[in-house]
Structure 1
């Protein structure tokens, strides 16, 4: 009888729900979905109430072997809080510490923390990707809070013996993706000409199925103990290449006009879109050599397959 139970926080979110569904499919662990509100998982697996920001809203962990912590206050393009860093710390640091300490006290063997590549920084030079063991250099409040949460978890791990595994993904996409990636597909389906034809940056992405596959490996792999891993599809795109590939999968051809990169950056900054400049024109590459070598892991799905699935899902939903 299967009794190995994995608590997945943020199980109504993009990553958390995908992980629960994968665990149900594999049948090697019993996923316990920790959720804040309604969930489509009700009836498929055990569901418990969980509120990361509230000290008294932690679920029982007495029979849990592994916690996978995906819940967080996520990065947003248009921050409305006057003191964003304090709010990120309240949820992403203090909430994570409360959960981890309760997990250790309850005898949880391993705590897998889904962090962010923003702990490494915001941008790389082309050909000089971030590595898992680089000195962290977070810039924005979200990245800073994730770095502080990582530091606190390592301390708890040393104090209690609970194994800590940290995974830092870059942009995650896949069927059901929301936010900027979904909006980008929406723009592409309108067949509007875009001045993005000559951007020569390089960006790493990770498909949801590849990220979930690595998380599953990290539940049990002995060599993952107390390690930090970067993850990607192991293929980088320029913004121009990504748009052309997505438009092809959505049906048709992207209309990308050649436009001087410097002029485009200046124009976007003039209209208050500095953050957009970095995402459209800047590079952010990750090196997953450590992940491949220590875990003997390779992304099981190509980026082309994952982008096709993402586009098909978007078209069906719209």
Structure 2
């Protein structure tokens, strides 16, 4: 099929484009900068999603849409209405234009549409959504709007934190720390967190596009089992061919130090529990190619695997 992919120039988008092309689909990549066009994709120039976009020309001859463009966690300085315009309004404008024209519409939402940065139990889609910031609220509002559009087979995927070649943010920072030839203070951090390989996320997108029956609604996407932060860093070290060298610094001491440095939010994301179950998507037939997070880390970081 021919797929219109938005957000194709980002970390996730470039992986999605490569995966879809490898599966034999044609990818029309909607990007703002022609230099950011993923290899093998056709160019579709778009403007700022905070302003109205004429989607009709980009949808000509398109069989499906994968909408990954939007504002992620860009810090507290952005106004709430910007998240709403880009993550909600632009999504719904594209979906309205695509309704009745395309067979499938896949929206890359986020686990933050369902929860804050931590959870007291393993999240499932049966939990009432309770986003805690403008980013999560904008994603949830987009999901709700998609469900109300007649003639649209819409799937919203809620990935947890994504890792893989080219990742930035917290996972990228952890990978850089793991490369250091020095002990790291994560040995006592055993609180479980769910993460997802970008390969598994790409497979979930492909499943939503290719399944015999449309997977309507919202679905959590995560590696099969959660992993503690200490075990995650140990897996990174192992993939790099190094011993773990994790010091069991008490969590209270680490938390106090980071709060003193005004890094309390980062500490909460590192130390707090956040697990989410992908069982509903698996029950429909999605098979994650990466069966465990340590396996995914090896595919990412092992020498000779792929560039990090």
Judged with a 3 Å threshold, the aligned counterparts in structure 2 of structure 1 residues 113 and 270 are, in CA distance, closer, same or farther, namely same
Q: Distance in 1 between matches of 2:77 and 2:209?
A: 36
Q: Kindly provide the CA deviation profile for residues 7-29 of structure 1, in whole angstroms up to 9, marking residues without a partner as x.
A: 111111122221121121111x3
SS of 1:60's equivalent in the other structure is helix
1:147 aligns with 2:140: yes
- Preserved contact between residue 50 and residue 82 of structure 2 (Cα < 8 Å): no
Deviations 1:251-296 (A, max 9, x none): 3123322122223223322221111112211111111111111x22
C-alpha displacement of 1:313: 7.2
Q: Which of 199, 202, 225 matches 2:192?
A: 202
Match of 1:20 in 2: 17
Q: Contact 1:176 / 1:310 at 8 angstroms: preserved in 2?
A: no
1:4-153 matched pairs, under 5 angstroms: 4-27=1-24, 29-39=25-35, 41=37, 44-51=40-47, 52-58=49-55, 59-76=57-74, 78-81=75-78, 83=79, 85-104=80-99, 107-121=101-115, 122-125=117-120, 128-153=121-146
Once the two structures are superposed, what CA deviation does each residue of 1:64-87 show, in whole Å capped at 9, x if it has no partner? 1111101111113x4333x2x111
Which residue matches 1:235?
Answer: 225
8 Å contact from structure 1 (residues 36, 50) kept in 2: yes
Sort the Cα spacing of 1:192 and 1:175 in 2 relative to 1 into closer, same or farther, 3 A. Answer: same
Q: Is the 8 A contact 1:191 1:255 kept in 2?
A: no
Contact 2:123/2:277 (<8 A) preserved: yes
Instruction: Select which of 296, 301, 312 maps to 2:285.
Output: 296
Distance 1:314 1:198 in 2: 31
Q: Give the TM-score taking structure 2 as reference length.
A: 0.91
Unaligned runs of 5+ in 2: none
2:269 is the counterpart of 1:279: yes
Alpha-carbon shift at residue 165 of structure 1 (Å): 0.5
Q: Deviations over 1:238-260 (max 9, x none)?
A: 01100111011123123322122
Matching residue of 1:221: 211
Paired residue for 2:173? 183
Partners in 1 of 2:227 and 2:207 — Cα distance? 26
| CA contact 1:49–1:57 (8 Å) conserved in 2 | no
Contact 2:299/2:306 (8 A) holds in 1: no
CA-based RMSD? 2.1
Number of residues of Structure 1 aligned to a counterpart in Structure 2: 304
- 1:57 CA drift (Å): 4.9
Normalised by the length of structure 1, the TM-score is 0.89
State the alpha-carbon separation in 2 of the partners of residues 192 and 276 from structure 1: 21
Cα separation, 1, equivalents of 2:306 and 2:61: 40
Residue pairs, 1:238-317, within 5 angstroms: 238-293=228-283, 295-302=284-291, 303-312=293-302
Q: How many angstroms does 1:186 deviate by?
A: 1.3
